[in-house]
Amino acid sequence: MPEPQIRPEPFQADSEAQGQRNKYFNREISRLQFESRVLEMASDIRLPVLERAKFLAIFSSNLDEFFQIRVAGLKAQIDSGLEGLSIDGLSAGDQLDRIHEIVLGQYESAYSIYSKSVIPELQEKDIRIVGLDELTQSQRLDLRRHFEREIFPVLTPLAVDPAHPFPYISNLSLNLAVLLYNKDEKQLRFARVKVPTLLPRLQTVEEGRLFVRVEELIDSHLHLLFPGMEISSRSPFRLTRDAVIDPDLDEADDLREAMNAGLLQKRLSSPAVRLEISRDVAHETSSLLNAELELDGRDTYALNGPLDFTYLWELYKLARPDLKSEPWRPRRAKALSKVGGVSNSIFEVMRSQDILLHHPYESFDSSVTAFLEQAADDPNVLTIKHTLYRSSGPETAIFRALTRAAATGKQVVTLVELKARFDESSNIEWAQSLERAGVHVVYGLVGLKAHAKITLVVRQEGKRIRRYSHLGTGNYHPVTARIYEDVGLLTASETIGEDLTNLFNHLTGISKVPAYRKLLVAPHSLRQKLIALIHRESDLPDGRIVIKVNNLSDPEIINELYAASQAGVEIDLIIRSVCGLKPGVPGLSDRIRVRSILGGFLEHSRIYRFGSDERGPDYLIGSADLMPRNLTERVETLVPVGDPHLKARIEDILSLNLADNLHSWSLREDGNWQPIHGEPAFSAQKILMERILE
Active site residues: 451
Spell out a b/e string for 417-428, using b for 16 or more CB atoms within 10 Å of the CB, else e. Answer: bbbbeebbeebb
Characterize the bridge pairing of strands 592-597 and 381-388. unpaired
Cβ–Cβ under 8 Å, residues 436 and 413: no
Spell out a b/e string for 356-391, using b for 16 or more CB atoms within 10 Å of the CB, else e. Answer: bbbbbbbbbebbbbbbbbbbbebeebebbbbbbbbb
Hey, how many other C-beta atoms are within 10 angstroms of the C-beta on 141?
11
Give the Cα separation of 530 and 303 in Å (integer): 46
Characterize the bridge pairing of strands 411-416 and 544-549. unpaired
Contacts 24+ apart (CB under 8 A), 491-497: 491/350, 491/354, 491/355, 492/347, 492/350, 492/351, 492/354, 492/466, 492/467, 492/468, 493/354, 493/469, 493/518, 494/466, 494/467, 496/469, 496/471, 496/639, 497/456, 497/466, 497/467, 497/468, 497/469
CA quadruple 215, 218, 220, 223: dihedral sign: negative
Residue 326, Cα to own-chain centre: how many angstroms?
A: 23
Cβ–Cβ under 8 Å, residues 609 and 618: yes
Cβ–Cβ under 8 Å, residues 318 and 127: yes
Characterize the bridge pairing of strands 634-641 and 520-522. antiparallel
Give the Cα separation of 545 and 538 in Å (integer): 10
Characterize the bridge pairing of strands 355-359 and 484-491. antiparallel
CA atoms within 13 A on the CB side of 89: 13
Residues 6 or more apart whose CB falls under 8 angstroms from that of 622 comprise 452, 453, 471, 472, 473, 520, 606, 636, 637, 638, 639
